[in-house]
């Protein structure tokens, strides 16, 4: 009997490639999400420091021009924080999409692997049946010679 050959091996290999690609994409999305989180934390920390500095100078006495500069800078930081929150939400959505793609690719590959395993078991059973049939014929031929 010919050796076992799974006809969809090339597709299984391709699905494996897609799975690895999805894992890489998910890792990149996670890295980008963490980068955005760090950016948000950095902006929040900067805003706290600038606000504290403005309050300290306000207690000591600050002129109006310098106070307006602080307020403009704080407003810019608030805008940047808002944009950073939006980017973080987008990053979270992107991360969820990539995780879903990874799960889908994994399921597709697993389905083909299961099919391959089933076909191999069927092949093994057929091979065993043929071997048993050949052994039975040898036994029958041996009995016929004795008679």
* 100-147 pLDDT tens trace: 999 999 999 999 999 999 999 999 999 999 999 999 888 888 878 776
C-alpha–C-alpha distance, residues 127 and 133, integer Å: 10
- State how far the alpha carbon of 26 is from the alpha carbons of 30, 50, 92, 93, in Å: 6, 36, 11, 12
Average confidence score pLDDT of the chain = 93
Domain range summary for the chain, segments of one domain joined by +: 9-110
Cβ atoms of residues 84 and 43 within 8 Å:
yes
Cβ atoms of residues 94 and 11 within 8 Å:
no
pLDDT at residue 147, rounded to an integer = 64
In this prediction, residue 58 has a pLDDT band, given cuts at 50, 70 and 90, of confident
pLDDT of 61 over the 90 cut: no
- The residue whose two tokens read 């048993």 is 132
pTM for the complete prediction? 0.78
3-state secondary structure of 5: coil
In this prediction, residue 60 has a pLDDT band, given cuts at 50, 70 and 90, of confident
For the stretch 4-38, pLDDT in tens is 999 999 999 999 999 999 999 999 999 999 999 99
């Amino acid at each position: 009997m010919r050796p076992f050959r799974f006809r969809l091996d090339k597709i299984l290999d391709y699905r494996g490639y897609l799975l690895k690609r999805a894992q890489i994409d998910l890792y990149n999305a996670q890295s980008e999400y963490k980068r955005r989180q760090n950016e948000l934390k950095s902006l929040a920390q900067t805003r706290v420091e600038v606000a504290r500095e403005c309050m300290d100078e306000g207690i000591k006495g600050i002129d109006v021009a310098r106070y307006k500069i602080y307020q403009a800078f704080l407003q810019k930081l608030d805008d940047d924080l808002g944009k950073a929150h939006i980017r973080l939400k987008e990053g979270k959505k992107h991360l969820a999409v990539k995780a879903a793609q990874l799960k889908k690719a994994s399921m597709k590959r697993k389905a083909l692997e299961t099919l391959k395993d089933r076909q191999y078991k069927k092949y093994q059973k057929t091979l065993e049946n043929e071997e048993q049939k050949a052994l039975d014929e040898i036994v029958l031929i041996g009995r016929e010679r004795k008679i």
